[in-house]
Structure formats: structure tokens, C-alpha cells
Amino acid sequence: MSFDMYSGNLHDAIHPHEEYLLAIAANAPKKYPELTALRDRFYDDPRISVEQCDALLHELIDLLSDHVNKNDIISVNLISRLLSFFSLARRSDRAIVCKSD
């Protein structure tokens, strides 16, 4: 099942086969505190504030730079998709409501 994220009329999801990204971030919780917190609250239907969304954008960029081989098109596409979603939510100044299965 998916981890669905909604912000206004925007929707995206982290699918079970994509959860590995949060596990990578959890190995460095000081560098990726918001990604780690999201992983820790994954099944609690968290709400992501605009400020947290901003931090998640920066952490995803760092994760892409630090841990993802540019030839790993699956991870690059996943992070790019999440960056787009969080950026659109941030620019519309709306929190993200999550629904866990």
C-alpha cells in the first residue's frame, strides 16, 4: 500500500518499493532530520507543515547529491518526483496531509 500525500489539489505517494529512500536517510538522522522524522511517523498519518516541507526539499537535494548514483535512474526519478511535489506544495503555502495504509 502507498503513503499518500495531499496538498490542496495535489497528490503524490511513496509506494512500498520506494520506502528504501527513507531508510537511506535514517542512516544519517542528523543530516536528514525531517526525512528521518517522516520515516518514524510513516504509519501515523502525519501532517507536514510548510516549514517541514521546505526542509524536506533541501534534504532531498542533499540525499540526491550524497547517496544516489546518477546512473540510478529509478532513484533519481523518485527524488525528482518528490522534489516537484514538495516544491509545488511549498510554493502554494499549503501543508501536506498524509494517509498511511
Average per-residue pLDDT in the chain?
Answer: 94
Sheet holding 96-100, edge to edge: 10-14, 3-7, 96-100, 47-48
Distance CA 6, CA 30 (A): 27
pLDDT of residue 68: 77
Specify whether the CB–CB gap between 86 and 29 falls below 8 A: no
Domain-by-domain residue ranges, the chain?
A: 3-100
One-letter amino acid identity for 16?
P
One-letter amino acid identity for 66?
D
CA nearest to 67, candidates 36, 22, 33: 22
List, for residues 11-28, the tens digit of each pLDDT value.
Answer: 999 999 999 999 999 999
The yes-or-no verdict on residue 101 having pLDDT over 80 is no
- Mean pLDDT of all residues in 62-91: 91
Question: DSSP secondary-structure letter at 97?
Answer: E
